[in-house]
Structure 1
Amino acid sequence: MPANRAQQTKTADRRRQAVELRIAGRSWQQIADQLEYSSKGAACTDVRRALEKAVEKLAIPLEAHRQLELDRLDAIQNALWDKVLDGDTKAIDTTLRLMDRRAKLLGLDAPQRHELTLEAIDAALADVEQQLAAARSEAAEAEGAEEEEG
């Protein structure tokens, strides 16, 4: 039997809170305890479901937007095509940029190769550590503010 509207709203709200807690760096056990899940696995499953649902909702609008952009590129290219055939170099350059943009939108270009060095990895790790420290600091400040309010 499907859940009623009130239960669906409650579930959606709990999932939203669980995602926010996970983003804030809380462990699965902390999320389970705070939101009264039966286990840390249940909390993890609920967050995964929430994220899957969000991705599903984004997929259709993204594809529609991509198609709109492709249609616009086609219209611009069609307007320039006679000038391209006449040898207008400005129209040719513009058309080549349009074709490049279309290839990027469709993922037609081969992936670019990047050389990965230990220095680059160390720099990326240092950046992630700084971001993590900042997020933890913000979470601690927010938690302290909640305790002061409570």
Structure 2
Amino acid sequence: MGRPNRAIRAAITQHRADAIDLKLAGIDWLTIARKLAATPSINTDGVAYPQGYDIDRYKRGQEPPTDKRLIELACKDVSKALLERTTVLDGNSHELRQLMVERLERLFFTVYRAAIRSGDYQAVDRAVRIIERSSRLLGLDQPVRTELTGLDGGAIQIETTGLTELERLIALAGTTDAAGDAEG
């Protein structure tokens, strides 16, 4: 079987885009699979979806695929489409980041109004979480500086040691733990 012609490739691309859109909308795998199935009797719209799942079986007049097979096909389709999109998105990460920021802003506006008007603590919590996510996405959070100190806030002395000394320290720690367990 050769490479599909331009019309079939376009239909497959559209099919995969539809699958991703449905998954992003929170639709379950079986519903996606039935919506994009080739066989009208199982397609939720009652049509033969162009290049739909198991189009070859439908064209040959065979029984439609099982629900399990439909789900497998939908998952595989979305995975392939996401892999194809990843290649494109790598070059367009700035645009994708901007899109995500815009989505978060829309969510924030709605939640913010509820938090301010009614003082709803859940809405306040959601608003804070959206702000935190936006800050991470935009790189606004400052790195947290962690500093380890020794006794009295002084510098920690680091020494290298051999395997024999390391084993002695581990054994010593083990006996200290055992003594502590016996006391507790």
Of Structure 1 and Structure 2, which has the larger fraction of its residues in helix?
Answer: 1
TM-score, length of structure 2 as denominator length: 0.33
TM-score, length of structure 1 as denominator length: 0.40
In our comparison, the structure showing a higher alpha carbon Rg is: 2
